[in-house]
Amino acid sequence: MLDRIVAVVVTYNKPELLQNCLNSIYQQSHPCVDVVLIDNGGFQDTQKVVSRFNNKGFKIHHHIMNENLGGAGGFYQGIKDSFKYAPDFVWILDDDTIPENTALEQLIEAKNSLNDMGVNEVGLLASNVLWKDNSKAIMNVPKFSTDDKKVNGLLPIISSSFVSMLVSSDAIKSLGLPIKEFFIWGDDAEFSRRISTRYSAYWVQKSKVIHMMATNSGPNIITEKDTDRLDRYFYEFRNRIYILRKYENNYMVLKKVLKNMSIAVVALFQKDGVKRFKIVLNGTVSGFSFNPKVVKL
């Protein structure tokens, strides 16, 4: 009997990328019974893309939000809504993810292989995320575990990204939803790390997806050229401090604070340097008072 998979995709005005993403889900060798699409924008072009697939009989549950909830709020809502369709596993993807046709099948085969070896509480399986040129997507390399050994070619992980992550419904019911207050950045790292503390979590090299980012790089407030994007870096610094406080020791927190202060000083000498400096400082300080509640189903 096939596992019942519900895919969750969060989008914000990327109609061409979304169409490619949905088409790739549609063509998977292991079917998804439903797709929950959280639309943070409600743009007409996005609605046109959805209507094309619904006309094919592909089940897309298109939920248009009243406001932009960010990636974190979108995945919180999407995973919550996915339980209306009784999933065994939830396949979480960004709207600029293009999975190979066997990406989901490889995740399921990895789960079955682990079950056959007596690993029954598989909570999370992460795909091998590549960039457009088939190099590793720098922003989406999982945090690998150094304590556990490779199992049947699968590498144990501590955390991974929402670009392509398969999560068991049991793990979600037990440990809760992503933290919507993160808004953007770090929500997937915290969510996956929460799961890996209780359930088995592995990276599946054979499950390949392409992340269609413009550049193969992570967020960097020093080199950021789009000044309209600067304010969102507040969440990057705040959320990372929170994660370290929750899962690491004081030494790791102090190390991060010192690194952030170094970044702030360098940022001060860039265009809009004072603004960049304040964002780093405010985000870092806010990380110590930020204590969101994990919501359970």
Residue 24 sits in a domain whose CATH number is 3.90.550.60
Residue 148 resides in a domain: yes
Q: Are residues 206 and 242 in the same domain?
A: no
Q: How far apart are CA 70 and CA 270, in angstroms?
A: 27
Domain count, the chain: 2
- pLDDT by residue for the chain (297 residues), tens digit each? 789 999 999 999 999 999 999 999 999 999 888 999 999 988 889 999 998 887 676 789 999 999 999 999 999 999 999 999 999 999 999 999 999 999 999 999 999 999 999 988 999 999 999 999 999 999 999 999 988 778 888 999 999 999 999 999 999 999 999 999 999 999 999 999 999 999 999 999 999 999 999 999 999 999 999 999 999 999 999 999 999 999 999 999 999 999 999 999 999 999 999 999 999 999 999 999 999 999 999
User: Looking at the whole model, is its pTM more than 0.85?
Assistant: yes
Residue 264 resides in a domain: yes
Q: Are residues 151 and 36 in the same domain?
A: yes
Q: Are residues 237 and 178 in the same domain?
A: no
Q: Are residues 127 and 50 in the same domain?
A: yes
Residue 291 resides in a domain: no
**What angle, rounded to 10 degrees, do the helices at 273-286 and 250-267 form?**
170
Both structure tokens of 80: 């919550």
Residue 222 resides in a domain: no
Residue ranges making up the domain that contains 75: 5-211
If we measure between CA atoms, which residue out of 164, 50, 160, 47 comes closest to residue 97?
Answer: 164
Q: Are residues 122 and 26 in the same domain?
A: yes
Residue 197 resides in a domain: yes
